Structure 1
């Protein structure tokens, strides 16, 4: 959901979905830790943001296949 909002604003949000530190920070709503874990990248268009997001997802999936 949040990725969709970011794409509409020509942005990509990058964060580890499996990081124990990230999960604990989300559970505690620890904004300071979350701000260190989440990276926001602005692109020139929504299409470019989608392209970057898809590339990263494909790379992550390839890593899981190994």
Structure 2
């Protein structure tokens, strides 16, 4: 993530998912903190949302 547009795109891709209550992307670290309901969302679907928005997911 190198710009505000990228940050918002990743956050919006996650926030529009059912069960996600918030998402906060950090441009400097390239990480995203996601708040979600465990019983409504799984990690793979979070990754898919980010990938579908055109961004790479790196575990770790």
Using structure 2 for the length normalisation, give the TM-score: 0.29
Using structure 1 for the length normalisation, give the TM-score: 0.27
Larger Rg: 1
From the two aligned structures, give the one with the greater strand fraction. 2
